Amino acid sequence: MKKGDGVRYFGNHFAAFDELDESRRLLTAFSGASVIGLSVCDDELRFLGVNHALAAMNGMSPEAHIGRTVRDVLKAAAAQPEPALQRVLMSGEAVCFELAATLPTRMETGHWIENYLPVKGHMGRVNQVAAITVEVTAQRKLEKSFRNLADELRWTGNQEYRRLADALHASINAYHAVITTSLGRLTTSLVGLSERGWEPENCAEILGQTVEWLDQRIVNMRTIVSDVASRFPDRPERPVVVM
């Protein structure tokens, strides 16, 4: 039987052999996330399962991922994720980084915070890898806009606007740091759960609640960022409305 045989995909979950229990627990915990993507690949980097949040980022259905490799789905955008995923499979250690790439389903470059972690089978061998992904494209664009505007305002004499642009730029950076740190801690916790054999008994339930809380926190932060962006002037001469 070939690797991957016997895996059948259902919605956000997949029914498979016992060795995929850890993967199934991860997919269940992240099944309700709206902005935190999760995917699980085998040791040939073929997708075994993805949640709807990750599928939406890639611009294709969850079912369309199954059985296809990361390269098949991401095309040229797989240049950075592929070696990072392979490194996790070989070392058994988690990897985190920010990805800037143009997906085949998009016209512009996007930005994502990526956290990859090893997934063990029932024999304790790392034979899958999970990826936790959060898109930060809008935040990166806004950060760049505030930075450029602050630089422009340095030469206009409008110091009040410049200070506001500097402050908002710093706030976006802080927002980004919070997401990165939170996802890093979540990844560390998941690695710890795996090492402890997913004990105590209610850890899967606690994980689901943690993912739900973090997902909602990111949604709320995005709403605030979007609101700030809509109220900030495109040009220095326009009035600023702070609410």
Over the stretch 61-95, which tens digit does the pLDDT of each residue have? 999 999 999 999 999 999 999 999 999 999 999 99
**φ, ψ of residue 223 in degrees (nearest 5):** -65, -45
The continuous run of DSSP H or E covering 191 comes out as helix 159-195
Q: Is the pLDDT of residue 180 over 80?
A: yes
The string of pLDDT tens digits covering residues 93-140 is 999 999 999 999 999 999 999 999 999 876 778 999 999 999 999 888
The continuous run of DSSP H or E covering 206 comes out as helix 203-231
Say how far apart CA 80 and CA 99 lie, in whole Å: 7
**φ, ψ of residue 61 in degrees (nearest 5):** -70, 160
CA distances to 34, 39, 63, 119, 145 from 10, rounded to whole Å, are 18, 14, 8, 20, 42
Predicted structure pTM score: 0.82
Instruction: Report pLDDT for 18.
Output: 44
**Listed ranges 28-37, 151-160, 168-177, 212-221; the one with the highest mean pLDDT:** 28-37
What's the token pair of residue 124?
């304790």
The string of pLDDT tens digits covering residues 198-223 is 777 778 888 999 999 999 989 988 88
Instruction: Report pLDDT for 237.
Output: 44
Query: Would you mind telling me the total number of residues written for the chain in this entry?
Result: 243
Say how far apart CA 220 and CA 233 lie, in whole Å: 22
Pairing outcome for strands 95-101 and 8-10: unpaired
Chosen CATH of 8-231 out of 3.30.450.20, 3.30.479.30, 3.30.43.10, 3.40.50.170 = 3.30.450.20
What average pLDDT is seen over the chain? 82
Q: Which one has a higher pLDDT value, 93 or 174?
A: 93
Say how far apart CA 42 and CA 165 lie, in whole Å: 45
Q: Which one has a higher pLDDT value, 51 or 194?
A: 51
Instruction: Report pLDDT for 185.
Output: 92
Average pLDDT for 158-179: 75
Q: Is the pLDDT of residue 243 over 80?
A: no
What's the token pair of residue 232?
């900030």
Instruction: Report pLDDT for 171.
Output: 75
Instruction: Report pLDDT for 231.
Output: 65
Q: Is the pLDDT of residue 10 over 50?
A: no
Domain ranges of the chain: 8-231
Asked whether the beta carbons of 73 and 39 are under 8 A apart, the reply is: no
Range in 84-98, 125-139, 159-173, 180-194 the model is least confident about: 159-173
Q: Which of the four pLDDT bands, split at 50, 70 and 90, describes residue 143? A: confident
Instruction: Report pLDDT for 150.
Output: 67
